[in-house]
Amino acid sequence: MKFSQRQVIILLGGVVAVIIIGVVVFLNVRPKPSSGPALTLSVWGTEDKTTVGTLLSSYPYATVTYTQIDSADYQTKLLNALAAGTGPDVFEINNRSLPKWQTALAPMPAVFATQFNVQRMAAEFPDVVVRDFVAASSSNDAVPTTGQIYALPLSVDTLAMFYNKDLFNSRGIAFPPKTWDEFAADVPKLRTVGPQGQLVQAAAAIGGSETSIANAPDLVFLLMLQNGTRMVSNDLTSAQFATNPSGPGIAAFNFYLQFANAASPSYTWNDGVGSAIDAFASGKVAILFGYASDLATIKKKAPFLNMGIAPMPQATGATVAVNYPKYNGFAAAKVGQSVLAWNYILYITTNDTIEQQYMTETGAPPALRNEIQTATQDPDLGVFATQALTARSWHEADDGQIDSAMNQAIQNVLNGSADSWRALQVVQSTVNSLMTQP
């Protein structure tokens, strides 16, 4: 008889339970009847406990305790807990942070390999998930076919273009731009500049730093990837995006910066405008680049905004779209119950029913290909679901420090303390130092 994947996971869960309970009995340390099931799992994440706490605790083979940690404090609290030996069995990691967390993680145990391996992972999840969460020893365009799996997600989010339909209509723009050349051509139509050169109406929130644009580094890195920039060397020992002063990396960086340069004909933004999301919600900017996770905030701030969601612009003439992802995956702690933890991870992330409930509760785009296929027609999630299939990230030794370095580079160019080439070289130097750290 051939079992389905869900049946295999259920059976493995039962086997794990029997083994652990057997060990407990053998050691004569049986739990008291009033203490509940012998198997327990602790799970940490940034997911809203009120919304999905019950769903994430629905694993039937152990008592699961889900703890929500504020995203601002998450990494610090997690690092401290793991160092003290009081960390969770399962916790979320960002898709760009496997290199930073890998030594603290347990890869999927070999006991699962016959039923769920890298090939099965690639069949069930978009390619970006395989690239992000299968440990790689080299950087190339091929999707890994072998290796150790370190995490699996419930959702894959990507940058998309939010646009104010009323502003587009009033300026005679029938459709949102599909390429960056079309975008640049629309900027003068959507922008209004006062007699003293001040921005009265911004066309798009682009060109500034994280002071005003939360996703500023993501936009720069996306432009680099779309422009064909080699981000790191194949052996993962050095950064490559600022090795040539006339290369695609600096071209992408300059393209981004022109929109915050008051002397540029493309000028349409500065950090003085304030929060990009607030500006978009209040109708002060026509285009905002954001993630699906930003939708709830926008709708809360402006419930009656006539807003459209369009795919990210692509390079003119590009035959393959490139989109930028940001999402979390569930990983197992190295010091912990790795078999039980991975049984839990597989149960919640490869279960279509749980995925559907998660989407309903959170409004987040799906991660499983089956659900992506269905969600492509959803008016809110369709763009994000489709873009997950063409999402690309890159090997970041420490995503937080790299984002900080890129943000500083943007600020240094905007305030005149460095030219763009020198600023980008500093970012590359930072990445190089992070890649060579033990």
Give tens-digit pLDDT for 277-331.
999 999 999 999 999 999 999 999 999 999 999 999 999 999 999 999 999 999 9
Q: Is pLDDT of 420 > 90?
A: yes
CA distance 275 to 254: 22
Tell me: pLDDT of 30 over 90.
Answer: no
User: Is residue 305 located within the same domain as residue 340?
Assistant: no
Do residues 27 and 134 both lie within one domain? yes
pLDDT the model gives residue 15: 45
pLDDT of residue 11: 47
Q: Give percent of the chain above pLDDT 70.
A: 90
Q: What average pLDDT score do residues 158-162 get?
A: 98
pLDDT 10s digits, 91-106 = 999 999 999 999 999 9
Same domain flag for 132 and 101 = yes
DSSP E strand stretches across 253-396: 285-290, 307-310, 328-333
Instruction: Please check the confidence at residue 27 and state whether its pLDDT lies above 50.
Output: no
Based on the structure, what is the number of domains in the chain?
2
Q: Are residues 383 and 366 in the same domain?
A: yes
Question: What residue type is assigned to position 224 of the chain?
Answer: M
| Whether 127 and 196 share a structural domain | no
Q: Which pLDDT belongs to residue 145? A: 87
333 and 298 assigned to the same domain? no
What SS3 class is residue 225? helix
Instruction: Give the C-alpha separation, 68 to 52, whole Å.
Output: 10
pLDDT on residue 3 = 43
Q: Running DSSP on this structure, what letter comes out for residue 312?
A: P
**What is the structure's pLDDT at 423?**
98
pLDDT band at 23 (very low <50, low <70, confident <90, very high): very low
How many CB atoms sit inside 10 A of residue 344's CB? 26
pLDDT at residue 398 greater than cutoff 90: yes
Q: What pLDDT, on a 0 to 100 scale, did the predictor assign at position 438? A: 67
Q: How confident is the model at residue 250 (pLDDT cuts 50, 70, 90)?
A: very high
pLDDT given for residue 137 in this prediction: 65
Question: What does pLDDT average to over the chain?
Answer: 91
| Residue 122 binned pLDDT confidence (cut-offs 50, 70, 90) | very high
> pLDDT band at residue 164, thresholds of 50, 70 and 90?
very high
**Strand locations in 39-183, DSSP E?**
40-45, 63-68, 90-94, 105-106, 152-153, 160-164
For 104-130, what is the mean pLDDT? 96
Q: Could you report the per-residue pLDDT of 185-231, keeping only the tens digit for each?
A: 999 999 999 888 789 999 999 999 999 999 999 999 999 999 999 99
CATH number for the domain harbouring residue 345: 3.40.190.10
pTM: 0.90
Task: Say whether pLDDT at 346 is over 90.
Answer: yes
Question: Do 117 and 57 lie in a common domain?
Answer: yes
Residues 286 and 164 in one domain: yes
C-alpha to C-alpha distances, 321 to 154, 205, 214, 228, nearest whole angstrom: 23, 22, 23, 11
306: left (phi over 0), alpha (psi -120 to 50) or beta: beta
> How far apart are alpha carbons 354 and 333 in whole angstroms?
23
Tell the residue number behind the tokens 């327990």, with chain if given: 40
Domain that holds residue 139: 5-157+326-388
pLDDT value at position 92?
97
* 218 shares a domain with 71: no
Phi first, then psi, for residue 308 (nearest 5°) are: -115, 160
Please indicate, yes or no, whether residues 256 and 363 belong to a single structural domain of this protein: no
Per-residue model confidence (pLDDT) at position 18: 42
Taking alpha carbons only, the member of 26, 7, 84 closest to residue 333 is: 84
* More confident position, 142 or 69: 69
**Strand, coil or helix: what is 249?**
helix
214 or 33, higher pLDDT: 214
What local confidence, expressed as pLDDT, does residue 4 receive?
52
Confidence of residue 16 (pLDDT cuts 50, 70, 90): very low
Q: pLDDT band at 143, cuts 50/70/90?
A: confident
179 and 302 both lie in a single domain: yes
Residue 258 shares a structural domain with residue 281 = yes
Is residue 359 pLDDT above 70, yes or no? yes
Mean pLDDT throughout 113-138? 92
Last residue of a domain, one of 369, 388, 407: 388
> At 92, is the secondary structure helix, strand, or coil?
strand
pLDDT digit string, tens, across residues 297-307 = 999 999 999 99
